[in-house]
Amino acid sequence: MANNRNAGVLVHLTSLPGKHGIGDLGEGAYRFIDFLVASGQRLWQVLPTGPTDPCNSPYASYSAFGGNPLLINIDYLKQINLLDAKELSSLVIPEYPNVNYPFVNEVKHNLLQIAFQRYRSTEPTELTQKLLEFQHRQQHWLSDYSLFMALKDHFQGVSWTKWPEPIRRRQPEAITAWQKSLAAEIQYQEFLQYLFFTQWDMLKTYANDQGIKMIGDLPIFVAHDSADVWTYSELFDLDNQGIPTAVAGVPPDYFSATGQHWGNPLYNWSKHKEQDYSWWISRIETLLSIVDLIRVDHFRGFEAYWSIPFGEKTAVNGNWKKGPGACFFQAIEQKIGYLPIICEDLGFITKEVEELRDQFKLPGMRVLQFAFDELRANVHTPHNHVQNSVVYTGTHDNDTTLGWFQKATKETQTYALRYLGTNSGNIAWDFIRAAYASPANTAIIPLQDILSLDTKSRMNTPGTAEHNWEWRFHPSHLTDEVTQRLAAMTTLYER
């Protein structure tokens, strides 16, 4: 096909089916790629894949570089003789409608510990050499991350700002002493990261070989309680105790009347510039080693970001501060040679944000659920889409399209149906058709909409802390009828 039009599906790895209580890098992921191929898709978009905090949000990670151990395929450990069938059976549970994080965390980490101890008790093997090679390749982040996680476990999960002062301030003698006393725990963390990246590389190779590109997600901000902030505290706006002076969020918007108070520390952009944005370049290069394209979350923060004084309970009393702007992307482009980036340019977007995006010819996002709420055409309405953009029916922060429609006002429903020329027999597929017919070069559809699911299958509700990131689908959902319908739509609109 001689055009640039393509299509893909948004679904996170944790949502995949499987027998171990959570989607992972195992059989369910490979079968999902088979579905993408059969339905004519070219892209698979996932959420951030870093190690998550106890709230399990992919956007609250202990590392901007590492992988989430919960995504490790446990069955693989039997294949390399580190677990046996009896041990694996402790994690075989009935298909959960949702992820049971407390159970999965406990049992999966117990099994990973068993596998690690078995690895340590054996004579050096090919696996030993591969692990050493991995440690060497990833040294720029792995040693600091592994020490951080070992210390987190040692201090029973408390924030690094509450650790004893010598190690909190990363005094060299303290680093050396803790590296020695926690040597086994550090090696365990490196072992987990080796497993994650090895399994990811196998999955990506399988996808790429069949014409499927992976889209990763890069949150602009990182968690305060992370290896990154502890290791590179000078790159963030912190006081002398390591506490943020101001935190990130967004002002009141579509999702919240009081804004979104994310709580992430803000960057000391002048320090980043002094270092030629080396930390950012390393972060992007590491992510590009496991994905083909990157969706940059909260792109507008590179032009200007919302600064909330530390201690505020909501995001209302903040102010805009200038971001690094074009010089940041010029540094990235000069190092990498190109910018394989999709801009998440939703929310309060100014002319300056649009100019920054367009200066580097980066595609922005269009979301169909935002096309009808104002009862008039806007940038999200399909006839206003531009070619260099990515259209979604909704995002991971939106309700499903069916759930959105059921909750919409009568006026909004009427406007949407009139625009789409439909009787709402299946509003989710009406939206998919509109997305596929859009001038936008790329269309990405959340799997929930392809399956015509309602609010019970929503992935995340911004501003809430419970029951997010838990949704999973069952393999029986991907029927021949769904596959063929999506393939026909893809062919019809030349994607």
Give the β-pairing of 43-45 and 213-219.
parallel
**Tokens linked to 26:** 């195992």
pTM: 0.96
Q: Region 326-339: what's the mean pLDDT?
A: 95
Regarding predicted confidence, which is higher, 373 or 352? 352
Q: Region 255-275: what's the mean pLDDT?
A: 92
Give the β-pairing of 442-446 and 319-322.
unpaired
3-state SS, residue 466? coil
Q: Compute the distance between CA of residue 376 and CA of residue 405 in angstroms, rounded to an integer.
A: 17
Q: Which of 225, 344, 345, 399 is catalytic?
A: 344
Kindly report, residue by residue over 125-170, the tens digit of the pLDDT. 889 999 999 999 999 999 999 999 999 999 999 999 999 999 999 9
**Tokens linked to 203:** 């999955």
Kindly report, residue by residue over 355-396, the tens digit of the pLDDT. 999 999 999 999 999 999 889 999 999 999 999 999 999 999
Query: Catalytic residue at 344?
Result: yes
3-state SS, residue 250? strand
Give me the DSSP letters along 7-25.
EEEE--GGGS--SSSS--S
- The 8-class DSSP code of residue 454 comes to -
Q: Compute the distance between CA of residue 347 and CA of residue 343 in angstroms, rounded to an integer.
A: 12
Q: What is the pLDDT of residue 1?
A: 33
Distance between first and last Cα of the chain: 9
pLDDT band for 123, please (50, 70, 90 cuts).
confident
Per the prediction, the chain carries an average pLDDT of 95
Query: Catalytic residue at 397?
Result: yes
Query: Catalytic residue at 234?
Result: no
Q: Compute the distance between CA of residue 114 and CA of residue 327 in angstroms, rounded to an integer.
A: 48
Q: Region 99-115: what's the mean pLDDT?
A: 93
Q: Which of 397, 430, 449, 470 is catalytic?
A: 397
Q: Backbone phi, then psi, for 456, in 5-degree steps? A: -60, -20
> How crowded is residue 338: how many other Cβ atoms within 10 Å of its Cβ?
8
Is residue 33 pLDDT above 90, yes or no?
Answer: yes
pLDDT band for 88, please (50, 70, 90 cuts).
confident
Q: Are 220 and 280 in contact (CB under 8 A)?
A: no
| Length of the chain measured in residues | 495
Widest distance between CA atoms in the chain: 71
Q: Compute the distance between CA of residue 395 and CA of residue 404 in angstroms, rounded to an integer.
A: 12
Q: Compute the distance between CA of residue 160 and CA of residue 36 in angstroms, rounded to an integer.
A: 42
pLDDT band for 93, please (50, 70, 90 cuts).
confident
**Tokens linked to 339:** 């910018």
Q: Which domains can be identified in the chain, with CATH numbers?
A: 6-69+200-492 (3.20.20.80)
Token pair 């499987």 is found at 18
**Nearest one of 104, 48, 71 to 396, comparing CA atoms:** 48
**Nearest one of 105, 48, 114 to 86, comparing CA atoms:** 114
Q: Compute the distance between CA of residue 123 and CA of residue 40 in angstroms, rounded to an integer.
A: 47
The residues, any chain, with a CB within 8 Å of residue 4's CB and separated by 6 or more, are 387, 441
Q: Which helix (H) or strand (E) holds 442?
A: strand 442-446
Q: Which of 144, 297, 430, 470 is catalytic?
A: 297
Rg (CA), the chain: 23
Q: Are 442 and 43 in contact (CB under 8 A)?
A: yes
Q: Backbone phi, then psi, for 294, in 5-degree steps? A: -125, 125
Q: Could you tell me which residues are beta bridge partners of residue 295?
A: 217, 342
